[in-house]
Amino acid sequence: MLNTDLSVLGDRIRQRRKTRGWTQEEFADKAGIDRSYAGGIERGERNITFTVLCQLCAALDCDVAALTKGLPQQFKK
Chain segment 3-60, per-residue pLDDT in tens: 899 999 999 999 999 999 999 999 999 999 999 999 999 999 999 999 999 999 999 9
Helices 3-19 & 35-42, crossing angle to 10 degrees?
120
Residue 76 confidence (pLDDT) above 80: no
Determine contact, residues 57/30, Cβ cutoff 8 Å: no
> CATH classification of 3-64 is 1.10.260.40, yes or no?
yes
Model pLDDT, residue 75: 64
Distance between CA atoms of 69 and 44, rounded to whole angstroms? 16
Angle 61-63-67 from CA coordinates, rounded to 5°? 100
Which distant-in-sequence residues (6+ apart) come within 8 Å of 20 by Cβ?
A: 27, 60
Amino acid letter, 33: I
